[in-house]
């Protein structure tokens, strides 16, 4: 059987990802680069600016469904959250809460808060989180797509955590502290960030999928992201005490069951998976093998 | 400032607050009404265990005392940095804690965060920054990353960063900077109890921080960008 050529999400730019996810010609960008909304702060550091401040936002359709979308550009300052960057995302999500498209798609590709704008980026991250809760409150789901070259760290990782559902590839890395940060602060014996296999099995999409935080695991192929995201579009369910109790119970159980594990392989073994083979499985193979 | 001194000054009518390891929880009387008190102390880190401990308290309040004001006492040294915490998906635990706070807000509880110790990066996001109102008292220190670390990553000389920090509030640690950016609603130096009652008297739970950042000159772009996106 002839394979469709792979269109890598990991290697694509933010604009290429948006174009590949949405229906052809449907995307309308808001505050496009011609508006030149650059960072008012980077100049202080003699650092280059970008006319979109490293994030593309707008509206379009996904398999016919109206959606809002934002896509962080990892190639500009690591997709970092600066003042304008974060405000564009907050504005987009609040706009969705008012206009009620069928979903917000969030393509997170970010090392976290932009250090040159640390305070603005941190506050801006939490404005995004409150905007997500507002969108969800009125029934608009926020679906995160992870698989970019910068991963999803720091404030961006918590934004991902606040989403209704996540689609991710194995290449996606999701954690609050990045491996380099843990190594710098705690020492190389705590986390060797140059050990790529260790980084991927700890923070990568497969581990996050097996714990259930990632709803759909896909291979690194933009059309696979598109199909998976479209299938997850459904109205956000209201926050309820019983569902949050259930969520908490599962998180408490996870600590009880896996809290002493120091390597993802130990977790996979406890889950009854062939731990040494997980890293080599395709998304479909791992999905089939995942314990119920 | 010290937790016991803070409690005495916030709640002169009385408080019944227990400290269990780093977790602070209980009740206090304020203006004749009962409020819930919840927080951390001893510069605790916020990891997966702290997140579920705190979320459990929020959920108990929603179940047993819906609508009770929650005074969140903030003192943490950030998210717990460890491979085994990240292995179990720390972002999911922090987001769960934020959802529990959101449920409390949606159930009618006012959330007021009082920063009295450290409040750093992911720890401050997890517990404090998503309250309706965030205030600081003397001794509070807010920070995303230390200047030394920013210097290392941005490859800028520390002296230049220290000079820049005198001119702008966008990156350097400190409550005054955070206030100018709109990240703290108020900085309290006295009359904590009266100020807390006044804060609770307002029922505005909207996120006003971008407007505050504009008004105070620290964050001049964010509000306009949000408005332009809304109006596009």
Alpha helices in B22-89 (DSSP H): 48-64, 83-87
Complex-level ipTM: 0.98
pLDDT in tens, A230-270: 999 999 999 999 999 999 999 999 999 999 999 999 999 99
Q: Do A115 and B94 touch (CB under 8 A)?
A: no
Task: Give residue for tokens 């941005």.
Answer: B154
Neighbouring CB atoms inside 10 A of A220's CB total: 20
For residue A128, the distance in angstroms to the closest alpha carbon of chain B comes to 10
Inform me whether the pLDDT recorded for B203 exceeds 90. no
- Domains of chain A, residue spans: 14-172+214-237
B122/A177 Cβ within 8 A: yes
Predicted local distance difference test score (pLDDT) of residue A5: 86
pLDDT number for residue A3: 63
Q: What is the largest CA-CA distance in chain B?
A: 54
What does the block give as tokens for A235? Answer: 């109205």
Q: Is the pLDDT of residue A133 over 60?
A: yes
pLDDT (tens digit per residue) in A154-164: 999 999 999 99
B39 φ, ψ (degrees, to nearest 5)? 180, -165
How many whole angstroms from its chain centre is CA B136?
A: 9
pLDDT, one tens digit per residue, over B185-201 is 999 999 999 999 999 99
Query: What's the sign of the alpha-carbon dihedral B230, B212, B38, B205?
Result: negative
Q: Does residue A150 surpass a pLDDT of 70?
A: yes
Interface contact A244-B103, CB threshold 8 A: yes
Please give the pLDDT value at position B108: 96
A157/B169 CB distance under 8 A? no
Q: Which fold has domain B3-206?
A: 2-enoyl-CoA Hydratase; Chain A, domain 1 (3.90.226)
Report whether A149 contacts A109 (CB < 8 A). Answer: yes
Cβ atoms within 10 Å, residue B112? 21
Q: Which residues pair with B30 in a beta bridge?
A: B33
Confidence category of residue B149, pLDDT binned at 50, 70, 90: confident
Is B204's Cβ below 8 Å from some Cβ in A?
no
Q: Are A174 and A111 in contact (CB under 8 A)?
A: no
**pLDDT tens column, B171-180:** 999 999 999 9
- Please tell me the predicted confidence (pLDDT) of residue A2: 52
Q: A271: exposed, middle or buried (C-beta count within 10 Å: 0-12, 13-18, 19+)? A: middle
Task: Return d(Cα B163, Cα B87) in angstroms, integer.
Answer: 39
A4 has pLDDT over 80: no
Neighbouring CB atoms inside 10 A of A141's CB total: 23
| The two structure tokens encoding residue B150 | 């920013």
Q: CA nearest B134 in A: which residue?
A: A123
Answer yes or no: do A133 and B168 touch at CB < 8 A: no
B20 or A5, higher pLDDT: B20
Question: How far is the CA of A185 from the CAs of A189, A195, B44, B147, B172, in angstroms?
Answer: 11, 17, 16, 15, 19
Among partner residues A121, A131, A162, which is closest to B95 by beta-carbon distance?
A162
Neighbouring residues of A219: CB distance < 8 A, sequence distance ≥ 6: A6, A169, A170, A282, A283, A284
Which CATH number describes the domain made up of A14-172+214-237?
Answer: 3.90.226.10
Distance from CA of B208 to the nearest CA of A (A): 9
Average pLDDT value for residue range A211-230: 97
Q: pLDDT digits over B59-118, tens only? A: 999 999 999 999 999 999 999 999 999 999 999 999 999 999 999 999 999 999 999 999
Q: How far is A2 from chain B (nearest CA, A)?
A: 37
What pLDDT score was predicted for residue B182? 98
**Would you tell me the crossing angle of helices A241-258 and B48-64 to the nearest 10 degrees?**
150
Percent of all residues in chain B with a pLDDT value above 70, rounded to a whole number: 100
Which of A80, A101, A122 is the best substitution to test chain B (most B C-beta atoms within 10 A)? A122
- Contact between residue A133 and residue A161 where contact means Cβ atoms under 8 Å apart: no
Lowest mean pLDDT, pick from B22-31, B47-56, B122-131, B157-166: B157-166
pLDDT tens digit string along A76-108?
999 999 999 999 999 999 999 999 999 999 999
* Residue owning tokens 């479909």: A284
B225 Cα to chain A: minimum distance (Å) = 6
């Amino acid at each position: 059987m002839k394979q469709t050529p792979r269109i890598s999400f990991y290697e694509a730019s933010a604009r290429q990802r948006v174009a590949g996810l949405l229906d052809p010609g449907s995307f309308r960008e808001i505050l496009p680069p011609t508006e030149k909304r650059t960072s008012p702060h980077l100049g202080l550091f003699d650092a280059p600016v970008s006319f979109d401040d490293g994030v593309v936002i707008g509206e379009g359709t996904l398999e016919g469904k109206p959606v809002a979308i934002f896509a962080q550009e990892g190639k500009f300052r690591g997709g970092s959250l600066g003042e304008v960057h974060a405000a564009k995302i907050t504005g987009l999500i609040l706009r969705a809460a008012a206009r009620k498209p069928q979903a917000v798609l969030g393509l997170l590709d970010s090392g976290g808060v932009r250090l040159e704008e640390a305070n603005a980026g941190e506050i801006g991250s939490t404005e995004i989180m409150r905007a997500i809760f507002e969108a969800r409150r009125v029934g608009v789901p926020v679906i995160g797509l992870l698989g970019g070259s910068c991963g999803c760290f720091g404030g961006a990782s918590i934004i991902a955590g606040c989403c209704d559902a996540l689609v991710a590839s194995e290449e996606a890395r999701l954690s609050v502290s990045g491996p380099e940060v843990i190594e710098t602060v705690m020492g190389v014996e705590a986390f060797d960030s140059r050990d790529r296999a260790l980084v991927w099995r700890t923070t990568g999409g497969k581990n996050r999928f097996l714990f259930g935080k990632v709803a759909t695991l896909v291979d690194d192929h933009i059309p696979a992201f598109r199909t998976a995201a479209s299938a997850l579009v459904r109205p956000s369910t209201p926050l309820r005490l019983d569902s949050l109790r259930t969520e908490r119970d599962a998180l408490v159980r996870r600590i009880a069951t896996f809290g002493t594990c120091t390597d993802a392989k130990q977790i996979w073994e406890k889950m009854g998976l062939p731990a040494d083979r997980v890293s080599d499985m395709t998304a479909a193979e791992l999905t089939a093998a995942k314990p119920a | 400032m010290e937790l016991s001194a803070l409690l005495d000054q916030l709640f002169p009518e009385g408080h019944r607050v227990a400290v269990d390891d780093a977790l602070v929880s209980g009740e206090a009387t304020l203006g004749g009404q009962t409020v819930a008190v919840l927080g951390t102390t001893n510069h605790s880190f916020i990891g997966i265990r702290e997140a579920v401990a705190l979320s459990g308290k929020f959920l108990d309040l929603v179940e047993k005392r819906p609508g009770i004001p929650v005074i969140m006492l903030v003192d943490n040294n950030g998210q717990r940095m460890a491979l085994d915490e990240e292995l179990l998906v720390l972002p999911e635990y922090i987001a769960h804690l934020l959802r529990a706070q959101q449920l409390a807000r949606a159930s009618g509880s006012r959330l007021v965060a009082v920063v009295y110790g450290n409040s750093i990066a992911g720890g401050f996001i997890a517990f404090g920054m998503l309250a309706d109102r965030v205030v600081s008292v003397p001794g509070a220190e807010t920070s995303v990353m230390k200047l030394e670390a920013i210097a290392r990553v941005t490859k800028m000389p520390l002296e230049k960063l220290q000079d820049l920090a005198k001119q702008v509030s966008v990156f350097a640690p400190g409550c005054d900077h955070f206030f100018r950016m709109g990240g703290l609603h108020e900085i309290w130096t006295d009359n904590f109890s009266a100020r807390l009652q006044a804060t609770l008297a307002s029922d505005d739970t909207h996120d006003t921080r971008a407007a505050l950042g504009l008004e105070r000159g620290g964050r001049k772009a964010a509000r306009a960008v949000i408005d332009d996106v809304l109006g596009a």
